[in-house]
Amino acid sequence: MRQSPPRLLPRSLSVRARVAWAAGLAAALVVLVGAAASAVTLVTNEYQQRDRRVDAVAEALASSGNPITRGQGYVATLRIGDTVVESTPVALPAATPGLTTAVVRGVTYRVRTLPVARPDGALLSVGVREGPTRALIGPLARRLALAGAVAVALAAALGWWFAGRAVRPLRRLITQTRTLTSDGAQAPAPLHGAAEAEELSRAITDLWTRMTIAQERTRTALDSARGFAAAAAHELRTPLTAMRTDLDMLRAHPRGQPELDEIVGDLIRTQRRVESTVTALGQLAAGEVMRPEDRVTFDVTELFDRVAQEDARTHPTVRIATRGDQPLLMTGWPDGIRLAADNLVRNALTHGRATEIELSAALVENADRRQIELCVDDNGVGLPPTDRDRVLHRFERGPHPQVSGSGLGLALVAQQATLHGGTITLTDSPLGGLRATLTINTDDHAPR
């Protein structure tokens, strides 16, 4: 079936054209209202002058000795009852005293009827011919039409010019917006002009900034996902291969109970290693997408105390405690600091084989800055100085191959130190083992 071409919608008028049209219509409306008011005023004044003129003529004729005279510009009729005593060639119809309008032989007259100073009670009617209203308004209408046309044209031209100056910043903003790219590093330049244009410019700049931040976060999340996939594939290949070998051995040949128990034990240990590696990789990926606006203020001393109490319950043979009980507030991600503390305690228990662990938090004031130092001390086997920087990287393990691990525990601690704008250092502990110190500047805890 043949498809019909898309219907093109009519193009909307620009702001400049709309302003010009509005200015022209406003001028036309003003001219029409002014013309109507002028016409009404002119006709009213003309009627008032006509009435005053007919009153003046009637009073003059009534007070004279001979009421009917051959004057110009008026007609008159003198009656006694219904009898016409005297009249000009145009006789006016009978009327009661006062102002009336009469039509005689197709001509309209404004008539004034009043009694005459005579004993017979005669009434004198004096009429003045009315000029047509068209004759009064015609010249005025022509003049107003000419003035209105000029006013409308001038108003439209001025509206077009002023609107052009008003929308010029909007056109520059449109040009800037069209040149923005997804990978642009520079925000649109601020505009100056109409208040609406400046407000729209700020709104677009804010939107561009938010989109850039969101895009950067998306890029970070994608990079983290790619890194997670690559690291998982690299790290899990060996244990998964070992598990497959053990399973093949179980399927290929029947085994005695001791050998079967050994293979099952290897499978369980390998499965735990895989599980810990996947969990650590997930924690690393989650840490990379933490947002600055998610930071809160919390008591790090209370957090360390909870860590110590929970680990002490799960390891009753190890003394795990905190030094100091003074509240110490810091701003950051509580889950991130808790993750770092858990990994440091787990590292001391698993790799350091410590029997005594102490956690402490202190505020250190130097000459130019204030810092928070979070320390985890143990009495374990420690770590040679040559390995202390290396083990902070991913998949790096200490010099104890007999202890399995994912090689990500201290990397998680280093990541949290970076996210909080601090550093992690490994030194000798006063307890005889290893001391891990997480130093955070209180002025700005996290990069933006």
Both 226 and 308 in one domain: the answer is no
Here the CATH number for the domain that contains residue 358 is: 3.30.565.10
Both 193 and 321 in one domain: the answer is no
Q: What are the tokens at 154? A: 């001038």
At residue 25, does pLDDT exceed 70? yes
Which domain-ending residue is among 136, 170, 190? 136
Write the pLDDT tens digit of every residue in 245-260: 777 777 777 667 777 7
DSSP state string for 198-221: HHHHHHHHHHHHHHHHHHHHHHHH
Both 279 and 191 in one domain: the answer is yes
pTM equals 0.45
On whether the CB atoms of residues 307 and 339 are closer than 8 A, the answer is: no
Write the pLDDT tens digit of every residue in 220-241: 767 766 765 665 665 566 567 7
Q: What are phi and psi of 49, to 5 degrees?
A: -65, -40
The total domain count for the chain is 3
The pLDDT value recorded for residue 358 is: 94
Write the pLDDT tens digit of every residue in 139-164: 767 777 787 788 778 877 877 777 77
Residue that wins the pLDDT comparison between 321 and 176: 321
Separation CA 229–CA 237 (nearest Å): 12
On whether the CB atoms of residues 334 and 294 are closer than 8 A, the answer is: no
Average confidence (pLDDT) over 325-334: 86
Percentage above 70 pLDDT, the chain: 70
Q: 116-130, 202-216, 268-282: lowest mean pLDDT where?
A: 268-282
In-domain check, residue 8: no
At residue 402, does pLDDT exceed 50? no
Q: 221-235, 345-359, 419-433: lowest mean pLDDT where?
A: 221-235
Both 230 and 334 in one domain: the answer is no
Write the pLDDT tens digit of every residue in 254-306: 667 777 777 777 777 667 666 656 665 565 556 555 667 778 889 999 999 98
In-domain check, residue 165: no
The pLDDT value recorded for residue 248 is: 76
In-domain check, residue 221: yes
Q: What are the tokens at 361? A: 């938090």
Q: Measured in Å, how far apart are the chain's first and last C-alpha atoms?
A: 57
Q: What is the span of the domain harbouring residue 87?
A: 15-136
On whether the CB atoms of residues 427 and 384 are closer than 8 A, the answer is: no
At residue 316, does pLDDT exceed 60? yes
The pLDDT value recorded for residue 446 is: 41
In-domain check, residue 425: yes
In-domain check, residue 304: yes
Both 116 and 189 in one domain: the answer is no
Which domain-ending residue is among 289, 324, 341? 289
Write the pLDDT tens digit of every residue in 64-95: 655 666 556 788 888 888 888 888 888 888 88
Average confidence (pLDDT) over 105-134: 80
Which domain-ending residue is among 266, 289, 312? 289
Coil vs helix vs strand at 169: helix
The pLDDT value recorded for residue 427 is: 92
C-alpha angle with apex 423: 421 to 425, nearest 5 degrees? 170
In-domain check, residue 25: yes
